[in-house]
Amino acid sequence: MPITLASWNVNSIRARMPQIESWLASRPVDILALQETKVPDPLFPAEYFRERGFVPVYRGQAAYNGVAILSREPVSSVAAELGPAFTDCRFLSAATAFGFHLVNLYAPNGDTLESDKFNYKCTWYGALLARIQELLRIHPHLALVGDFNLAPADRDVYDPDAFRESVLTDRRIRNFLQELEALGFVDTFRHLYPDAIAYSWWDYRKGAARRGEGLRIDLILLSRALLPKLRHAGIAGDIRSFPRPSDHAPIWAELDP
């Protein structure tokens, strides 16, 4: 049986419990990384997931950010600190029982190119890159998943001209992905489907999902050592037509055990 690794920016785990339940029923997963849980740790619905056979690890805060890993098997070496300068909950790494180390990330959006938030996004990505370099030396079988707030190429954007000066497509941000690729990481979906047009996020406004106007900003990257195990990858875009959806779809990859 292949191992299913999935990632989903749920935009509030408490608001999204019905959708999480129905998606997990339609596609059983072995390990699921969540972003934007928007819940402090004491209020995380840990018991709900334990009752359904998951080991939950999570690091959240009120209102914003928040990351979690739900695993069918115990995890170890859990780390949530990216550095003293980063107090927001956007990073969670763990050793899994599925033959790889996992990093779950929720990259800052960056607001506008001129904003302090964009400077923070660049600083954050710099720290992430340093951490990944360290981790990769120790754990060559490394999966890097989450909401990157980064569209790798113009074909990942429904209207590239409209996003030409965007914090999601800016050269400095795309360079961080290229640095990861230089370390040997591969964008699994793009690797399997070089020409596919598929998105993982749609604006809630303007009927963007219905019109097919989205972005592919959620990614599952596998290290060079782990890539030979990749069998399938996909984006569960149909989740967007369900009631009260997240603005992001779950993404998944199947790996050989």
Partner DNA sequence: ATGACAAGCTTCGCTTGA
Active site members? 106, 147
Closest by CA to 78, choosing from 45, 55, 99, 61, is 55
- The C-alpha angle with vertex 179 and arms to 6 and 192, in degrees rounded to 5, equals 45
Widest Cα–Cα separation across the chain: 48
Smallest distance, DNA to C-beta of residue 124, A: 11
- Using CA atoms, how far residue 58 sits from 65, 71, 87, 150, in Å, is 11, 11, 15, 23
Q: Give me the least distance between CB of 26 and DNA, in Å please.
A: 19
Which letter does DSSP use for residue 46 in this model? H
- Looking at the DSSP bridge assignments, the partners of residue 218 are 147
CB of 213 to DNA, least distance (A): 11
Residue whose CB is less far from DNA, 41 or 225:
41
Name the residue nearer to DNA (CB basis): 11 or 188: 11
Which of residues 15 and 130 has its CB atom nearest to DNA in the complex?
A: 15
State both tokens at 88.
């927001």
Which amino acid does the sequence have at 18?
Answer: P
Question: Is the Cβ of residue 44 or residue 252 nearer to DNA in the bound state?
Answer: 44
Contact 170, 109 (CB under 8 A): no
Nearest approach in angstroms of CB 207 to DNA is 7
Q: Are the beta carbons of 220 and 181 closer than 8 angstroms?
A: no
Cα of first residue to Cα of last residue in the chain, in angstroms, is 7
| Binding region for DNA (CB under 7 A) | 9, 11-12, 14-16, 36, 38, 40, 62-64, 108-109, 111, 117, 147, 149, 168, 201, 203-206, 215, 217, 244, 247
